[in-house]
Amino acid sequence: MIAFIALALALRARGARRSELGAWVGTGLLLPFYGAETFGLHAIGTHATISGADDLWQLADGVRNQPVALACFALGLLALAAVGVGVAVSSWRSGAVTRIAAIIVAAGLVTYLPQYFLPETGRVIHGVALGIGLLLLAAAPARAARTPSPAPEAIPRPIGPEVGENGPNRTVERTNHG
């Protein structure tokens, strides 16, 4: 959850208001599910350990598979997938490293829901790839600031006498016809 909040704050710093809003909405929709899973399952596990009840594991499915929670979870991940696409589109005209990082981030956010159906190794690889993409994307502005910009091209000047609007070396006398 901290990473999703950091993503929304980073999008604010980049001035990407629509993507930032999508990140906040997605994060808000994910919070109830992750909160119930984190704190609810912990409470069930603690109670099972203290009481010695070995049938409390069945409550985990009720916590994880509650229809409204699953719907919010899916909508939150869809919002974050849209954020990923927005990041890739908005970064497309940036440098190559930023573009590659944005594509990695977009792929990671778009595949966030499907990665839950992968074995543990696949989920770890997904997380590492998304983390690398986010780190590269976060470092891109600093890298761009260090890269010297090319010298501006010299403005060509005519060779020979100055040419004004009245021809070469001609001046216009201004008189006041009052």
Instruction: Report pLDDT digits (tens) over 122-132.
Output: 999 999 999 99
pLDDT at 61: 83
pLDDT at 108: 94
pLDDT at 166: 55
pLDDT at 132: 93
pLDDT at 28: 93
Mapped onto helix, strand or coil, the DSSP state of residue 53 is coil
pLDDT at 42: 87
pLDDT at 95: 76
Say if residues 161 and 168 touch (Cβ distance below 8 Å): yes
pLDDT at 48: 86
Mapped onto helix, strand or coil, the DSSP state of residue 151 is coil
Distance linking the first and last C-alpha atoms of the chain: 77
| CA distances, 77 to each of 15, 25, 57, 175 (Å) | 22, 10, 26, 75
**Side chain identity at residue 43, one-letter code:** A
Give me 45's structure tokens. 């596990």
How far is residue 81's CA from residue 88's CA, in Å, rounded to a whole number? 11
Give me 51's structure tokens. 């009481």
Give me 62's structure tokens. 């009720």
pLDDT at 145: 62
Mean pLDDT by 10 residues, the chain (178 residues): 81 80 92 86 88 82 86 94 90 81 92 93 96 87 63 58 56 56
Helix (H) or strand (E) holding 45: helix 41-51
Give me 137's structure tokens. 């994307």
Query: What is the number of helices (H) and of strands (E) in the chain?
Result: 7, 2
Mapped onto helix, strand or coil, the DSSP state of residue 95 is coil
Enter the pTM of the model: 0.69
How far is residue 134's CA from residue 128's CA, in Å, rounded to a whole number? 10
Say if residues 97 and 136 touch (Cβ distance below 8 Å): yes
